[in-house]
A and B are shown apart, each in its own frame.
Chain A
């Protein structure tokens, strides 16, 4: 399959890239890893008159801790996130997410920023970023602005990014002591989108009770789902089986999946419940061991 015609640009700097997006406002798409965009263009589900390839702009691929924040460059490849020692050690939820995105070859090109900016609720990073309370940095003609992740997803394949903004960084607060996270995905085969998946990040207080819980669901509706009722319920609770079961039930209520080849609405909602419980259990175990 051959994509429809477009012009390709490969700017060497961020300002040049933003300039191109402004010049062709609304008619240009950012090409990052291309692992979602190119299939979309090939299948003619989408089109663009201009592709602005950010792949030759230096300084957009990094994973670094800076004070109390993990900073991930927008163009950082999923394979780099998966292999990062600091991520494996301190942010297992991110390493687990990266490891189940598409397949290893796709992850060699696919980028963390692209996974979010694509605005696909079936992508895996949105749920994780909701669970950890990330912020994204958007760079546009007027400079940088910070968008909290819960304000980032505005519709199916739509985000808060303006047409002339590029997602240049993801910021994740370093977890306090006694924190743990997990991402659990049910997929029919490697490379498939999730039938259902749950991300959970918890922090425990001095008495072992949950002081903060973040829960995100993948492919559970037209937008990535932040299971707020479940998060609130867990606050101050002992992380025992009963509390986890109730939180999982509340999270499943927040899901509004659609029936497709991966299963019925009832099945997917039930899987959201089961996977939320499993993610919470693993997150709590990690927090207790931390």
Chain B
């Protein structure tokens, strides 16, 4: 089966790989680039644990081929922290206890990050709607919503 040479910008860094047609984006990130912050949860497009940003838009990386990312920009949870400073979304989850087991957290944060880029002052309904494709089985979502709200407030005061 055909192999493809691809170039992907991951968290601002140009990366190259030679991939099989069927390699999934999440496997490229985790196994080839060793960026294991992106989690594999259900592997069936439901849970959102594998959410990353593709050209700034949240996508489920278990349901995208690596070769589809050729020439595009990917941002993973590893790309949030800059110069040893947490992104407001990370700070929000830390301050508001937005996680228990932490499995859904990378996906939740990427969705929250993209939401705040598009809408700096989301209502609670906006937040709940945005994360409706990200499943959490621990928190009951209350603290996750608070975490995103915390990040929204913090982003504004920065």
Point out residues on A near B: beta carbons under 8 Å. 1-8, 10, 31, 34-35, 38-39, 41-43, 51, 53, 55, 102-106, 108-109, 190-191
Contact = CB atoms under 8 A, between A and B. Distances in A.
B11 to A, nearest CB: 19
Contact of B20 (A5, A43, A104, A105): A5
A34 B64 contact: yes
B21 A38 contact: no
Nearest to B66: A8
B43 A42 contact: yes
A35 B4 CA distance: 22
Nearest to B57: A108
Contact of B1 (A6, A43, A105, A109): A6
B43 A1 contact: yes
B61 to A, nearest CB: 10
10 contacts: A2-B22, A4-B22, A7-B2, A8-B4, A8-B65, A39-B63, A53-B68, A103-B48, A105-B111, A190-B132
B120 interface: no
Given A3-B22, A8-B65, A102 B133 contact: yes
Contacts of B1: 5-7
A109 to B, nearest CB: 6
B148 to A, nearest CB: 14
Contact of B129 (A10, A104, A191): A104
Contacts, number: 84
Nearest to B43: A1
Contacts of A4: 22
Interface residues of B, number: 31
Contacts of B117: none
A190 B133 contact: yes
Contacts of A190: 132-133
A109 B64 contact: yes
B46 A191 contact: yes
Contacts of B143: none
A105 B43 contact: no
A51 B20 CA distance: 13
Given A5-B22, A7-B2, A35 B45 contact: yes
B24 A2 contact: yes
A103 B4 CA distance: 31
Contacts of A191: 46, 132-133
Contacts of A105: 48, 51, 58-60, 111, 133-134
Given A8-B4, A191-B132, 4 more contacts: A5-B1, A10-B70, A34-B65, A51-B21
Nearest to A49: B1
Contacts of A41: 22
A106 B21 contact: no
A190 B141 CA distance: 14
A7 B133 contact: no
